[in-house]
Structure 1
Amino acid sequence: MTVNNKVYTALINGKVNTAETKQPVEGGVLIEGDKIIAIGKFDIPKGCNVVDLNGDSVFPGFIDPHTHIGLNEQAKGPVGVDVNEATNPVTAEVFALDGIYPSDSAFKEALAAGITSSMVVPGSANIFGGVGTAIKHYSKDNLVSSLVIKKYAGMKAALGENPKRNYGSKKTSPSTRMGSAAIMRQWLIKAKEYSDKKKQAENDPEKMPTTDLKLENLSKVINKEMPLKIHAHRADDIATALRVAKEFSLKITLEHGSEAHLIVDHVKKYPFPVIVGPSLGVPSKVETKNKSLKGVKILSDAGLNVALTTDHPVLPIYRLLHAAALVVKEGVDEFTALQMITINSAKILGLESRIGSIAVGKDADLTVYNGHPFDFLSKCRYTFVNGKKVYEA
């Protein structure tokens, strides 16, 4: 309801799990417009829209930091697959944003599970696959531009079997891991040279290089304006990713990390986050044969920033909660697992000031459960995005 030109919503009589402190806060959450303005006990503004939670639990909207939601559409077949521009090993010029279908049914399924945001990245057919975008899962006008939280959220890269298989079958490079690493280095060097030329030309416009969209986007990686998100399952590919990051002084995230726990002493020497998953299901290829839910605890206990992913649609996005529940079963503390699908993911995306926890001033992205979301029998009652109720059971 609008009060003095301001829209207020109060969630009351609940338990607020902020993802910042282990103990829930008794009371509720007060929302003004799209922001949280109070937590716990507060005075309810006159005429405020009130939602009585009757003792249910409020959580931050959950976040999957590595998906292809909207790019690899559900129930559409080949016509709905826009995940890989698999025509060149370097397609750094493409943007996931240009392929996201905001009416994909997966968005409604995500909201029904309380998953309010995700990172959408191109697939792993190429060494450099394109720019990924962080989005929310609700658009009031059905426009993809309304979903965007962060356009330049990361450059997708890939090592290992996928680029080898895609280009080896075409009898072109890269057909080996050596070729993959060489192409990655070659284009990072080109991006560094391009960036240096642009800087040198600031005082002499005639020396400005011709605009190259591949190199424009890769320059943002070289200059640490966005991270390189490197698909790497096997231990040797993870080691190569870390080696390249050190050589070029890059900011990276390790995506999937199926064998990161096997070389944890090496991985923890670097300050890079690990997005683990999808850890459920059978290994679908050689490089995932050692994926393990137990590995998540090993990485977390080593002090790394660990988040979980479904790699949707490899696993349906709502199974993010199942993955978190199962890592608890393998010994991860329940609160730590909650952080793996909330604030850890937000930090990895560079969005922790807006999403990932319940705090005054943050976006009002919330979900309400009638039990703990890691209990398979618990149900999502409500989901809010930007203060708007977008799902009700």
Structure 2
Amino acid sequence: MNIAITGGYVVPVDGDPVEGGTVLIKDGRIAAVGHDVEIPDGATIVDAGGSWVLPGFVEAHGHLGVYEEAEGWAGQDTNEMTDPNGARLRALDAINPADLAFADALSGGVTTAVIKPGSGNPIGGQTVAVKCWGRTVEEMLVREPVSVKSALGENPKRVYGDQKKLPSTRQGVAAVIRDAFTKAQDYRDRREFAAAEGKPFDRDGTMEVLVRVLDGELPWCQHTHRADDIATALRLADEFGYRLVINHGTEGHLLADLIAERNVPVIIGPLLTSRSKVELRHRSLRNPGILARAGVELAITTDHPVVPIHFLVHQATLAVKEGLDRDVALRSITLNPARIMGLGDRVGALKPGLDGDVVIWSGDPLDVMSRALRVFVSGREVYTYADGEGEMLDPYYRESGPR
């Protein structure tokens, strides 16, 4: 199926805007973007005149489907707080595609989300990237695993301190992570020796994942707010040589030069929260701009459901108000999170070859009065705003009826 979105103000993000441009989608992927785009016979024409056309937004750190809204205990599968090292755990196995958050995401122009375990464990588990529409995780899947989630700071020490077991201090949290990687190094050596000798080897799911981190295959997404915890994250990454991604980075602006020197990206946020605990005392909407000006690659997160997923763009807007460059702000919810999480070959821009995830906005999305009018995921229109309300295409009831 071919779709041509014509006449809009097209913002590719990785290139200059095109006034009155066309975005052509063929078989679910973007085929062309520009003024003089040849539209195939029989293509569905979507008139975007007077509107803005952008790639779908990318949420780099959320808990959609694993921390379900309006479900309470029954829908809370974010943390397996019975083992400090949960590297073998997969967020993919806990996602409920029927979570109300996925419809909210589409209404806010968010078409892709990296879903992560929570921060209750020093090592929480594997993350997954999904589209925000589909019946099963397999239908929604973009890539899995994307990274491994880890946590420093207050959360893991509180969880295990309450259980009167390791780790109950920051020393203990760092020790759990260091011990895990030391064991993973030994495991890798034994595995390589067994392979060289042609001997059988008992696999360990936890160690296999950590070896992939050590080998640079999977980035290490480090939940950390306070500056001293960020320094610990940098220290551990220096020690073991893995690819670090700072998640939250509330006090990252205090170490912006050190973070930039190491080319460590920061997924900052959530930004629309109160200072509900000690490690959030320096939360500020000015911090994204400070990090960006220091040369740090930046993505903005809602940490849904901490901030509702459809407010992702509003966080970017308010960060612009407090000093973040507006082009950087748009990249921080599109191209940057895609690149940081290794999804740049699929999403994050309007570029030939990428997925046909396109959102038509009533105006500049950084204007809080603008709305997502039509949302396409892989070339399929899945959300439409008309007559004063939004409607999502029910993934269980498609054109051919129930399946």
Same fold (TM over 0.5): yes
Per the alignment, residue 3 of structure 1 pairs with none
Residue type at the aligned position of 1:31: I
Residue type at the aligned position of 1:36: I
- 2:6–2:20 contact (8 Å) kept in structure 1: no
Counterparts in 2 of 1:32-181, with a 5 A limit?
32-40=26-34, 41-139=36-134, 142-181=135-174
- 1:17–1:58 contact (8 Å) kept in structure 2: yes
Specify whether residues 339 and 120 from structure 1 end up closer, same or farther in structure 2 by C-alpha distance, changes over 3 A only.
Answer: same
In the TM superposition, what whole-angstrom CA distance separates every residue of 1:270-326 from its partner, at most 9, and x where no partner exists? Answer: 111000000112111111111111111110001111000000001110110110000
Q: Could you tell me which of 184, 190, 200 is aligned with 2:193?
A: 200
- 1:194–1:209 contact (8 Å) kept in structure 2: no
Please give the alpha-carbon distance, in whole angstroms, between the structure 1 residues aligned to 2:374 and 2:207: 44
- 1:158–1:232 contact (8 Å) kept in structure 2: yes
- 1:22–1:335 contact (8 Å) kept in structure 2: no
Q: Give me the CA root mean square deviation.
A: 1.0
Deviation larger for 235-244 or 257-266: 257-266
Please give the alpha-carbon distance, in whole angstroms, between the structure 2 residues aligned to 1:205 and 1:103: 47
Q: Does 1:266 align with 2:258?
A: yes
In the TM superposition, what whole-angstrom CA distance separates every residue of 1:44-82 from its partner, at most 9, and x where no partner exists? Answer: 211111111122110010011000110000111110000
Per the alignment, residue 4 of structure 1 pairs with none
Q: Does 1:378 align with 2:373?
A: no
Counterparts in 2 of 1:212-251, with a 5 A limit?
212-251=204-243
Runs of 4+ residues over 6 Å off in structure 1: none
Q: Does 1:184 align with 2:177?
A: yes
Please give the alpha-carbon distance, in whole angstroms, between the structure 2 residues aligned to 1:111 and 1:295: 27
- 1:91–1:214 contact (8 Å) kept in structure 2: yes
Q: Does 1:210 align with 2:202?
A: yes
- 2:108–2:312 contact (8 Å) kept in structure 1: no
- Provide TM-score, normalisation by structure 1: 0.96
- Cα displacement (A) at 1:24: 3.5
Q: Could you tell me which of 282, 285, 310 is aligned with 1:293?
A: 285
Please give the alpha-carbon distance, in whole angstroms, between the structure 2 residues aligned to 1:273 and 1:154: 14
Residue type at the aligned position of 2:278: V
- 1:125–1:158 contact (8 Å) kept in structure 2: yes
Residue type at the aligned position of 1:154: S
In the TM superposition, what whole-angstrom CA distance separates every residue of 1:317-360 from its partner, at most 9, and x where no partner exists? Answer: 01101100001101212111000000000001111121101011
Q: Does 1:27 align with 2:17?
A: no
In the TM superposition, what whole-angstrom CA distance separates every residue of 1:124-162 from its partner, at most 9, and x where no partner exists? Answer: 0001000000111111xx111111111110000000000
Counterparts in 2 of 1:320-335, with a 5 A limit?
320-335=312-327
Specify whether residues 225 and 11 from structure 1 end up closer, same or farther in structure 2 by C-alpha distance, changes over 3 A only.
Answer: same
- Cα displacement (A) at 1:23: 3.3
Please give the alpha-carbon distance, in whole angstroms, between the structure 2 residues aligned to 1:181 and 1:25: 52
Please give the alpha-carbon distance, in whole angstroms, between the structure 1 residues aligned to 2:256 and 2:104: 35
Residue type at the aligned position of 1:87: T
Give the secondary structure class of the aligned counterpart of 1:152: coil
- Cα displacement (A) at 1:263: 1.7
Percent identity over the alignment? 42
Please give the alpha-carbon distance, in whole angstroms, between the structure 2 residues aligned to 1:209 and 1:215: 13
Deviation larger for 153-162 or 49-58: 49-58
Unaligned runs of 5+ in 2: 386-403
- Cα displacement (A) at 1:21: 2.4
In the TM superposition, what whole-angstrom CA distance separates every residue of 1:175-201 from its partner, at most 9, and x where no partner exists? Answer: 110111111100001111111221222
Q: Does 1:13 align with 2:7?
A: yes
Give the secondary structure class of the aligned counterpart of 1:315: coil
- 2:256–2:296 contact (8 Å) kept in structure 1: no
- Cα displacement (A) at 1:106: 0.5
- 1:11–1:52 contact (8 Å) kept in structure 2: yes
Give the secondary structure class of the aligned counterpart of 2:88: coil
- 1:16–1:57 contact (8 Å) kept in structure 2: yes
Deviation larger for 280-289 or 114-123: 280-289
- 1:368–1:380 contact (8 Å) kept in structure 2: yes
- Cα displacement (A) at 1:114: 0.9
Specify whether residues 226 and 13 from structure 1 end up closer, same or farther in structure 2 by C-alpha distance, changes over 3 A only.
Answer: same
Unaligned runs of 5+ in 1: 1-6
- Cα displacement (A) at 1:22: 4.3
